Structure 1
Amino acid sequence: MDVRTTPNPLVRAAGRLLHRLNSRHPWDHNAHFHRWILRSLPVGATRALDVGCGRGELVRALAGAGLAVDGIDPDQEMAYVAAQRCRDLPAVAIRRRTLDEHADEMLARHPEGAYDAITLIASLHHLELEPAISRLRALLRPGGSLLVVTLTVPRTAADTLWDIGNALTNPLIGLVKHPRPVRDPVPGPRIPLRDPAWSHGELRERVRSVLPGTELRRREGFRSTLRWRKPA
């Protein structure tokens, strides 16, 4: 059962109550993981790629850590918003393009890999998994790290229990992060949405077939994190 989409009337009523609480004390589930990504960067990293860079928040965070950063997004509005947000950062380049388009260009110039770190927050499930993972592996320099925050869909009892825990803790985290209630939320730029197609377990098995040794963890905010380091 997916607690986010179930037709059960009691669960739906509880979901509406939790939604009202979440709306009063919102928190950015993706920005929440920026610190995890920054802590996970390889020592001595100098260049990063953010795939599906959205509004550019993580690009700015990576640039603030001293990295030269390429941000790519296939959505025109998102790429424009990110470019505007990062226009004061000389070591940042934002491009409207797909992962395949970017990989074709970069691997022609850097067949050994171009990046010390590649990040994806809530964008992996927009891609065809195995081809995308293969492209990301090729774009990493030896010793580089792939750092992913992604959504999953519940398939097992363990998945459902984890989702219920997330649903209950979500407003509590929001209360801590955003204690002052929001009265009149200001809408931001439209972010393209897509439902995930795999569960946590399915993602683990499929990714490890391409990237042996991948570390995958269930996390708060209905997210899972994936970390892999390319052998030096």
Structure 2
Amino acid sequence: MDSHRLGAALPRVIGWLNRTNARHPWSHNDRLHRWIARRLPDRRRSVLDVGCGQGLLAWRLSHRFGRVLAIDVDAPQVAATAARCADRPNVTARVASFAEVDGTFDGITMVAVLHHLDLEDALPRIRRLLAPGGRLFVIGLARSETRIDLAWDLLSSVTNPLIGVILHPRPVRDPPSGDPFPTKDPDVTLSELRAAFARHLPGARFRRRLGFRHTIEWTAPAR
């Protein structure tokens, strides 16, 4: 196919991908909750879920930790978390920013949150809040910069509808419009994230994921 025909076909391909994604939706973030569950710290007295959304991860963590503090700056999301975790007395859902949190935690989770924060403030705060041996889990997004980034974006674009059909085979007749929670496009690249972690949380492990995501895990050293 010559470049002119390819250029004419591209909008149709993108339109088909978008329609398929809408009819077979799946959560890129929820899919990675199991990745967190497999890597929990040995000591599980308390965990901080930053940007708790509608509370699914907080509810899951409540079965593994003695205390869960779930925070979000969006009041409706906190209300949804509180409702989901109403039968879990060890969960506290609070409207708060990460900068307002004090205490010591054995785990900190950030799902699609870190790109909303100032890295030079957030990463040192993580180090202060985590107990020795505590673990940080990030499911994140980053702005594409390199050819490798773009290649992963292309792979995610192609696999997204296929994963959706597998996970949600019955198509949704009236797909909802918009996002159920506040969103922001990332403005930090993966290479910038790696550099910031090297400065503040050295030894963090990064991994690219399908669905336009990456994961980061870091264990606080003994003091």
| TM-score, length of structure 1 as denominator length | 0.88
* Deviation of 1:87 (Å): 1.6
Aligned residue in 2 for 1:42 = 41
For 1:202 and 1:10, how far apart are their aligned partners in 2?
Answer: 34
2:108 alignment counterpart:
118
- 2:38 counterpart of 1:56: no
The residue aligned with 1:127 is 117
Cα distance in 2 for partners of 1:172, 1:133 equals 35
Q: Is residue 149–residue 224 contact of structure 1 (8 Å, CA) maintained in 2?
A: yes
Paired residues of 1:78 and 1:191 also in contact (CA < 8 A) = yes
Q: Which amino acid aligns with 2:15?
A: R
- Partners of 1:126 and 1:27 in 2: how far apart? 22
- CA distance in 2 between counterparts of 1:82 and 1:100 reads 20
Letter in 1 for 2:116: H
Which digits, 9 at most, give the CA deviation of each residue in 1:168-210, with x for residues without a partner?
A: 0111111111111111245798301111011112211111211
Q: Does the 8 Å contact 1:130/1:207 carry over to 2?
A: no
1:149 has 2:136 as partner? no
Q: Secondary structure at the match of 2:180?
A: coil
User: Number of residue pairs matched?
Assistant: 216
Say if 2:93 is the partner of 1:94: yes
**Structure 2 match to 1:181:** 171
In the other structure, the counterpart of 1:215 is 205
Alignment of 1:202 onto 2:201: no
Match of 2:150 among 140, 160, 167: 160
Q: Secondary structure at the match of 1:59?
A: helix
Cα RMSD of the aligned pairs, angstroms, is: 1.7
Q: How does 1:47-86 map to 2 (within 5 A)?
A: 47-86=46-85
Aligned-residue offset at 1:12: 3.7
Report how far residue 64 of structure 1 moved. Answer: 2.4
Which position in structure 1 is the counterpart of 2:4? none
Q: Counterpart amino acid of 2:35?
A: W
Q: Deviations for 1:117-137, whole angstroms, at most 9, x for unmatched residues? A: 100000111111121111111
Write the deviation string for residues 126-185 of structure 1: whole angstroms up to 9, x where unpaired. 111121111111110000000000011111111100100010011111111111111124
Q: CA deviation at 1:93?
A: 0.2
Task: Give TM-score, length-normalised by structure 2.
Answer: 0.91
What is the CA deviation profile of residues 1-60 of structure 1, one whole-angstrom value per residue up to 9, with x for unaligned ones? xxxxxxx76544322210111111111111001000111111232211000101111000
Q: How far is 1:67 from its partner?
A: 3.9
**What runs of 5+ residues in structure 2 fail to find an aligned partner?**
1-6
Cα pair 1:24 1:181 within 8 Å, conserved: yes
Asked if structure 1 preserves the Cα contact closer than 8 Å seen for 2:47 and 2:65, the reply is no
User: How do 1:6-45 and structure 2 match up within 5 A?
Assistant: 10-45=9-44
Contact 1:72–1:97 (CA<8 Å) still a contact in 2?
yes
- The worse-fitting range, judged by mean Cα deviation, of 9-18 and 70-79 is 9-18
What percent of counterpart residues are identical? Answer: 44
User: CA–CA distance in 2 between the matches of 1:49 and 1:229?
Assistant: 15
Structure 2 CA distance for aligned equivalents of residues 50 and 31 of structure 1: 14
Displacement of 1:80 in angstroms is 1.4
Runs (4+) of structure 1 exceeding 3 A deviation are 8-13, 185-190
Query: 2-side partners of 1:171 and 1:11: how far apart?
Result: 16
Give the secondary structure class of the aligned counterpart of 2:187.
coil
Q: Which amino acid aligns with 2:26?
A: W
